[in-house]
Structure 1
Amino acid sequence: TFLVRSKGIKNKLGVKSPLHASPRVIATLVVASITLFQLGVELITVYPQIRQAMQLLSVNGTSDIPLIQHSKTLLTVLDAGFYVSFSLSSIFMVFYVLAIFIGYRKDLEKMQRGDYTFLPMKLRKSLNDNLVAASLRYSGAQIVYLIWCYLLLLLIAWMACIAIAYIVVLPLMGNVPFWFFNPVLIFLPLMLMNFGFMKLQIFLSRRFFLQDFSVMMPKGLRTQKALALDNIKVFNILSFFMFFFHVIIGVVGCLNRIMIGLAIGLISLARLDRCMLPMGFEKYDKGYSTYLGMLMLEVHHRNPVASVFCNELLVSNREKGCANVLLAPANNIQGNVEPISQKYRRICRKWAKLYTLINNPSVRRSYVDRKSECSIEHVEIAM
């Protein structure tokens, strides 16, 4: 099982894939990882000093015993919340950087296959100078977005830990007054009621309001009832009487939507490959437009098909006697000595061409046909 999972992770990261990631993207993520590590070390070093100063201030600032006890409780909660939030946010950022790289590779593969459907139409039709300018901003923007995401995630997680401690844990332990527990007593019944009525509506819809004949589900694995109403009068009556109740329950749904939106926005802050704005407003997300500019530039300059095509043009020029000395065979170089770097690049280009020909039958057939027409002297490919 471990080997299978490790192979799956390697496939996602593209360890053995012929599609090479951009050195610029790799360098950006490496620098971002080093920066995040240094920032984490600074935070874990500075916090004990701040905590010690707060402890001295709380002890020397007052002589009231209950207040001192509350100060000690607060410091304990701050310590626990900081270390928990620091650990969670640091682990999250490690997987976050890997997710950014995997998302970049997936988008690059789609675009190199000619699939541009996931790109917004307005950004797809951007001017070339705007794309180049946006590409220049990618590295710095990605690092800064990761730093801000790390700090905000740490801060929000810290505040959430403090809130959970004072609203749930400490009232149940008796360290703070029980009225701190009132928000739970207010919102928990509303949430349970909302959940229960949603399940009840789903049951009524499945049992009484859908006609009883089956159709295939979109995935084609199971069947479900057709989207055709039965008992329409009862459905209209129920929707009328449930209208006022849904207005009240809608408060919980609205708060739930706000909280989920904030959480997803915070988590997706540094994912420049994901637009944080709704459809039609993608151009106002500067981070997303920066990522697309970099991606478009990478596709146009590092496309393997274009690279092989240019290589074929160079080889054809050599056969016509128009190539420069770098494309000449090794035995034509003075002293029959070829630099190691040039020899290595020539072997790599030959291997890349061979891989492309193997995985593209149509290109391979045309290449073999052209090769059969050439003489023995023109068969050798010099790179």
Structure 2
Amino acid sequence: MAANSSGGMQDAHLDSSLASTDDLASDWYIYETMEPAVPQDDIFPSVIPDCDPTISPRLYHICMAPISLAVLLGLSLLVKRRCLHQSCWNGVPGLLSPANFLEEEGNRGLVAAVFGILFSSLCVLVLDTDPLPLITHSSQSTREYWKILALLYYPAFYYPLMACATVRHKASYLMGCLLSWCHCVVHIWQKVDCPQSPKIYRYYSTLSYIPIILCLVLLSLWYPALLIKSFTGQKETLDKEVPGGGYYKKYLKAVLSKRPPKGSSAKLEESLLSRLQMYLRSYIYAPEEGFRIPLKLILSITTAMIAVYQVALLLLVAVIPTIQIIRAGMTKDIVVLLVQFGLVPSESPAVPGDMEKELRTVKYYLWSLEVCYICSLVLCCLLTCTMLLRTLVMHRSNLKALYQGAVLDVFYKAHILRPSRQAIVCWMSFASFQTAFACLGLLIQQVIFFICSVGFTFLFVIPLQSGTDSYLFRIIQNMWPFWLTLVVAVIVQNLAAHYQFLEQHPLRKELTNRRALYIATYLLFPINVLVGVLAGLWRMLISGLYNSIHFCQLDISLLNRGVETFDPGYHTYCHYLKIEVSQSHPVMKAFCLLLLQLARPEGPSGLRASNVEEGIQLMQHKQAPLSRARFKQSRARWWLAYTLLHNPSLTACRKTALCDPTANGTQLSTPEP
């Protein structure tokens, strides 16, 4: 009887233990024990069905690609007909220039908008299952080939959106209006029809298309404005001028009208507030009269800002929903495991029924992790955008210095500002490099700042809030004699160097007590080794933070001066400056414009030489005596000749031209017999 009763008790205990283990095993499926307050749609992004818009991407590209090709061919024929007239059909019509990147002319915002559309489209196709919209349901083995083909397809697809503005014709503006309206309406229709998608996050597809829609809206407003101006006749006068001529004349006026400041030579001491204001102004680009940022720089900054948005959006939607899912699905059984590993402090034994406080602690830790991630991402975006704005200020100062011939103010050694094969390649890839460096810089900053914020939160903030000791506090508490020794050694060395080893005279400073200096150097060598270890850690931390923050800046090198050519970003930037200065020097362009206008004195009154040069000298629009006009005309020519003569960036070209007796149209005369 006793044996049977004991066996029955054991069976009952075994059944109860199996039931408890079954309950424990069933609790491990965290999504089955989810709190009812959390909607299932917010936890499972996979429950969102695939949405097929009314106008599918494949249908959209099948219809718009032939239309874009037809517009491009029509514009090419139009340009051939306007430029060659009877010789129109002698050759094959060539491709239109998308934009004059080395000329300072209008429609810069339009070109930047098209580049923004192109880059955003490339960001979307990287994570798309069908990178080439013309081909759907591509296999995994052929997907990478379609991505490579898409890198060539999208630039050709959006090519007419930019080429319509370079023709400067009413028909081209009308085609640009129709194309931009079609693209804009279809994209907005697709996102309104299907705002959610199961890719990464339910709203990621819609949010990633915001830059494309904004740029298309800008194009949809820009082209109608150009069309209206062409019908009102405001564009006809501009077609007769040299592109960018207005800017070159304004730049020359700003250069020639500068006068040295008059006043006392005594320099007032600047206050701390004024220094702070000047420092903040160095990070804010303000337009300056007589100077315009080149088009390539505008494109690089535009695409870099869009890259910051796209990367930040991807980092946000790829991590934060996952942390929220883990926090919402946290159960007491998982907390027991974390307590046993020592990751969560607990005063009670690890029993699932007594883990309410520990469960709240784990959820608080996950919430803190989420806050650290968001704060670090916001800080990284602000720092990257600030550095990109800082680059505009540095670009302007470097270009102005090179325009004046101050090569050594920009480069650490003398450079000849002339085109080369390497310079052309770097100029072509400058905007692309700036965009890529902004993406990589934001990723590196996010990793570093997230680790630092998590360490600061879990080692300082949370222990101080909870009143518990962290591992860092314990290390500092146990090693206080070591830290005190290092601090005392550093203080003693500084005091001894100031009062015992340095003899200060009114005009000079000399070493003294050299024997004591040698003895102290020898005795403090082991302690200074430990101080050097801490200094090395601090150097590594500062170098990592500095390089990660300034990674997106191409105007500075992250390497030392002797090896800065191994920095591909800075190397590209230096060669980019050579092309810009040698090919788009405003004074050189103004001089050439003046020569072209002097060769056509019979032209319209707005292009006469006297009016141009009087405009350069900021003269009033009134009739002046003939002698005074000639005097100011001569003075303007002398100022221009003086500026060109004393520009070191043009010295090499000038000497090369002067050595050739056939330069400037001069022909050699045959020797007399």
TM-score class, shorter: 0.7 to 0.9
1:20 is matched with 292
Q: What is the match of residue 441 of structure 2?
A: 149
Name the residue aligned to 1:292: 574
1:44 Cα offset (Å): 4.0
Measure how far apart 1:86 and its partner are.
2.2
The question of 1:307 aligning with 2:589 is answered yes
Q: Tell me: CA distance 1:194–1:90, structure 2 relative to 1, closer, same or farther (3 Å).
A: farther
Deviation of residue 98 (structure 1)? 1.0
Where structure 2 has 5 or more consecutive residues not aligned to the other structure, the ranges are 1-272, 337-351, 619-632, 642-673
Task: Tell me the distance in 2 between the aligned counterparts of 1:129 and 1:155.
Answer: 38
Partner residue in 2 for 1:259: 541
TM-score by length of 1: 0.73
CA pair 176-153 structure 1, distance change in 2 beyond 3 A: farther
Establish whether residue 249 from structure 1 lines up as the match of residue 531 from structure 2: yes
| Paired residues of 2:407 and 2:414 also in contact (CA < 8 A) | no
- Separation in structure 1 between the aligned mates of residue 281 and residue 462 of structure 2, nearest angstrom: 41
Deviates more, 1:229-238 or 1:39-48: 39-48
| Equivalent in the alignment of 2:380 | 89
Q: CA deviation at 1:276?
A: 0.8
**Normalising by structure 2, what TM-score?**
0.44
Q: Tell me the residue number matched to 1:106.
A: 397
1:134 to 422, 426, 430: 426
Counterpart of 1:208 in structure 2: which amino acid?
Q
1:1-383 matched pairs, under 5 angstroms: 9=281, 13-59=285-331, 62=334, 64=336, 65=352, 68-69=359-360, 71-117=362-408, 118-121=410-413, 128-174=420-466, 178-179=470-471, 181-185=473-477, 194=486, 197-215=489-507, 226-318=508-600, 328-330=602-604, 353-354=616-617, 365=635, 367=637
Is the Cα–Cα contact under 8 Å of residues 282 and 393 in structure 2 kept in the other structure?
no
SS of structure 2 residue aligned to 1:13: coil
Offset, 1:308: 2.7
Q: Distance in 1 between the 2:614 and 2:491 partners? A: 59
Unaligned runs of 5+ in 1: 216-225, 320-327, 332-342, 356-362, 372-383
**Where does residue 359 of structure 1 map in the other structure?**
none
CA contact (8 A) 2:441 2:549 kept: yes
**CA-CA distance at 1:131 after TM superposition:** 1.1
- Per-residue CA shift, 1:17-75, capped at 9, x if unaligned? 32221121012212221332344344444544222222245338737355745532331
8 Å CA contact 2:418–2:578 kept in 1: the answer is no
Post-superposition shift, 1:272? Answer: 0.8
Contact 2:417–2:579 (CA<8 Å) still a contact in 1? no
Whichever of the two has the greater Rg, that structure is 2
Distance 1:101 1:188 in 2: 48
- 8 A Cα contact 2:419 2:579, kept in partner: no
**Counterpart residue identity of residue 393, structure 2:** I
- After superposition, what is the alpha-carbon deviation per residue over 1:115-160, rounded to whole angstroms, capped at 9, x for unaligned? 2224244976998111111111110110111112122212221111
SS at match of 1:275: coil
Give the CA RMSD over aligned residues: 3.9
1:83-121 per-position Cα deviation (integer Å, ceiling 9, x unaligned): 221222222223122111111112112222222224244
Whole-angstrom distance in 2 between the partners of 1:290 and 1:284: 10
- Secondary structure of the structure 2 residue equivalent to 1:329: coil
The Cα of 1:187 is off from its aligned counterpart by 7.9
Aligned length: 333
What amino acid maps onto 2:385 in structure 1? V
Deviations 1:195-224 (A, max 9, x none): 554444333222222222134xxxxxxxxx
